Amino acid sequence: MFDDVEEFGSVVALLNVDRSGLIDALNDHPLVHHGLVPGEDQMALVQRFADYYEESGLIVSGEAPPLRSCCANGEYCWREANPTDVGGSLSLPWVGPDYRPGGVLILGINFNDAYGIAEAFALAHWELRNFARGRKRMTYDSPGYRGSDFAYRSTRSAGLLIDVLDGVDVTDRERSEELVAVLNRVVRLQTIKCSPENDALSKPTGGMWENCPPMLLADEFAIARPRFIVAFGGDVRWALERLPGFSPEPAQEERLHCGVFAVGGTSAGVFMLDHPRSRYWPASHASLVTHLQR
């Protein structure tokens, strides 16, 4: 959907230049509003993720190459994909400027035909501007793209857990303008890092589901150290429930699954909902409201 930004393709720029260089690199992405000023805490956490991905071989010699070629599982995971699709590169996760350890983490499936190391930041900044304008469906200025409800609906669900953290009454935020503050307080991860080019919303292959979550997710949770994880999609639930450290808990509400994940000596509450593009998301979200208001 979006072109990678060559100027931000080097993690050397992220790790070894001063903060002003990082800001310039982020601002080079066409979807990022110029004048971005990341906070010190925000960038420190982003750099921890970058260090981890470099240690994992997903960043090589300071570059983020196609995952099909650099990931240890690349050949196996991509064997079912289009042979002419070279595979997208890794994206650093969105870390909101107001996120702190003990916050809320949003977990999606993967990007839809989008990749590149700045992509998560670019999408989030486009969404922040359009939330402020009262928009719910995100088109990202992509010609012919009908738009996505993921950002609006997933952030709306995350807002419920922000209220729990703040010790205030749980309130469902229907107005998109109210979601700006929420998106600024979350980390947003993708369960699958690859984004195959196909006609099924970049649907991951079976190998990707088999290998990617156990390879990375537990470590990513340990880096972010969330208090709550809100996850979307039945396949994501399938992946989470098979990770060591996950313990299911009864939810008592329809279309809501709950659990606890052991993270770096602490634990995170996990809430698993239907995917925002599903017709069942409204019922799933309503169940989360009921569960948290009890």
pLDDT digits (tens, 9 = 90+) for 277-288: 999 999 999 999
Give me the amino acid identity at 28.
D
DSSP 8-state secondary structure symbol assigned to residue 138? B
Question: What pLDDT score does 263 carry?
Answer: 79
- In the three-class reduction of DSSP (H, G, I as helix; E, B as strand; rest coil), residue 10 is classed as strand
pLDDT mean over 83-105: 92
CATH number of 6-293: 3.40.470.10
Facing residues of 263 across strands?
A: 266
pLDDT mean over 270-274: 98
pLDDT band at residue 64 under the 50/70/90 scheme: confident
Tokens matching residue 194: 């690859």
Question: What pLDDT score does 2 carry?
Answer: 30
| Domain coordinates in residue numbering, the chain | 6-293
pLDDT mean over 237-250: 95
Facing residues of 189 across strands?
A: 107
Question: What pLDDT score does 226 carry?
Answer: 97
Question: What pLDDT score does 199 carry?
Answer: 72
Question: What pLDDT score does 35 carry?
Answer: 62
Q: Say if residues 72 and 29 touch (Cβ distance below 8 Å).
A: no
Report residue 58: phi and psi, to 5°: -90, -10
For the sheet containing 94-95, what is the strand order?
94-95, 186-190, 104-108, 228-232, 266-273, 257-263, 246-249
pLDDT in tens, 250-265: 878 999 999 999 977 8
Question: What pLDDT score does 22 carry?
Answer: 55
Question: What pLDDT score does 83 carry?
Answer: 86
Residue 16: is its pLDDT beyond 80? no
Question: What pLDDT score does 130 carry?
Answer: 95
DSSP string, 246-284: EEEE---STT-EEEEEEETTEEEEEEEE--TTSTTHHHH
pLDDT mean over 125-139: 95
Residues with Cβ within 8 Å of residue 23, at least 6 apart in sequence: 36, 37, 38
Residue 101: is its pLDDT beyond 60? yes
Q: How far is CA 20 from CA 11, 39, 123, 133, in A?
A: 15, 11, 21, 29
Question: What pLDDT score does 117 carry?
Answer: 82
Question: What pLDDT score does 1 carry?
Answer: 31
Question: What pLDDT score does 15 carry?
Answer: 45
Report the C-alpha gap between 61 and 255 in whole angstroms: 45
Residue 110: is its pLDDT beyond 90? yes
- In the three-class reduction of DSSP (H, G, I as helix; E, B as strand; rest coil), residue 70 is classed as helix
Question: What pLDDT score does 9 carry?
Answer: 37
pLDDT mean over 141-147: 84
Q: What is the pTM of this model?
A: 0.90
Q: Say if residues 50 and 38 touch (Cβ distance below 8 Å).
A: no
Question: What pLDDT score does 12 carry?
Answer: 39
Question: What pLDDT score does 116 carry?
Answer: 81
pLDDT mean over 243-248: 95
Average pLDDT, the chain: 87
Question: What pLDDT score does 20 carry?
Answer: 60
